Amino acid sequence: MARLSELKFAMGTSIFIASFIFGAFLIAILYLFQFDLVTGLIIGLAGTGLFILFQYLIGPAIISATTRLHYLKPGENPWFENTVKEFVDKSEMPMPRLAIVPNKTPNAFVFGRTASSATLALHEGLLTSLNEDEVRGVIAHELGHIKHKDYIVMTVLSALPLIAYIVAQAMFRAGMVSSYSSRRRRDDGGNAGLVLVAVGVISFIVYIISFLAVMRLSRLREHYADAYSAYLTGSPRSLQSALSKITYGLSIAPPASSEARAFYIEDPTMAKQEISMLMQKKQEYDLDKDGVLDERELQQAMEKEAKSTWNQLNSLFATHPPTFKRILLLREIEEEMETGRYTTDRVYAHV
């Protein structure tokens, strides 16, 4: 399939960049604490490798525990099971484990260590607020993640920025406490405080760079999964409608847990921000002045907001692309399908 190699290249470079930065980060810390360069290099590389392995092993267990999902037994939800079976047969991929999350918000996600042990989970709120065609579009999107194996990379990489951030905060606080104590004692121990602050600065820089790298991959993989859903269902419109309902549903839902936000089909926090910005400018976008943003007005508003400089900069820190950009991609695919020229080698041609 054309251009899937670009996603694989992006995943490979993201792993390399994040691992290189994290390794250099550990080496720099050890050097500042007066380890020799060779020892620092060995400990840094070993530490990076061990942490990636640790995250790979425990990441799925953390997601499973924090989302409180319920694994389905065979025959417990025949429609869900049959739909997934239909799609995995077409995709020539193994059947994932199926689960339902006791959560009223409309969302879905996949996670796991390998394609053969992946879990596909749907929220109860998704099944009750979307029609069957829309749910099929969501299921196909999630199977796209399994097909691309991008969720495995995200499992490994997602904690690296967080650790750098925690270290930065700890070092800044420890540095200030050390400097303050040294001034009170009037000794020259302030150098230790400066070292700790320097480590904090390095940690924060590492956090920003690694976070941006991981978020870029997170957004890209959503576009690829959207395109795969269009191919698998043959109905891009189903996922378009589903994304609109999911974004609106998440925007009015109570604040959600953030443990698995990068794995969801839509980020609850981002959905709230998107709808909130539009509502603040409701009078501007309500072209017919009827007090309601209809579908056409909402689409125009989202398109205009997506082009603003502020939103483009803000999207660099987002786990998901803006909803309108995702819908626009699906529309382009739909238009090509309607011409009859759409073929399997063009699944990702519009990404």
For the chain, list the strands marked E by DSSP: 70-71, 97-101, 108-111, 119-123
Question: 220 vs 86, 148, 253, 351, CA distance in Å?
Answer: 26, 12, 26, 8
Question: 87 vs 45, 100, 231, 327, CA distance in Å?
Answer: 41, 18, 11, 22
* Cα–Cα distance, 108 to 127 (Å, whole number): 10
Q: How many CB atoms lie within 10 A of CB 103?
A: 19
**SS3 of residue 70 by DSSP:** strand
274 close to 322: Cβ distance less than 8 angstroms:
yes
In 3D space, the residue among 161, 198, 119 whose CA is nearest the CA of residue 18 turns out to be 161
* Cα–Cα distance, 37 to 298 (Å, whole number): 57
Tokens matching residue 59: 């990441």
The amino acid sitting at 183 is: R
Burial 17-26 (b: 16+ CB within 10 A, else e): bbbebbbebb
Beta-sheet pairing, 119-123 with 108-111: antiparallel
> Is residue 295 annotated as a catalytic residue, yes or no?
no
Q: How many CB atoms lie within 10 A of CB 12?
A: 11
The amino acid sitting at 269 is: T
What is the C-alpha R_g of the chain?
23
Question: 66 vs 62, 102, 122, 259, 283, CA distance in Å?
Answer: 6, 12, 15, 7, 40
Nearest 5°: phi and psi at 110?
-130, 155
The alpha carbon of 31 is separated from its chain's Cα centroid by a whole number of angstroms, namely 33
| Annotated catalytic residue within 134, 142, 222, 266 | 142
Catalogue the active-site residues: 142
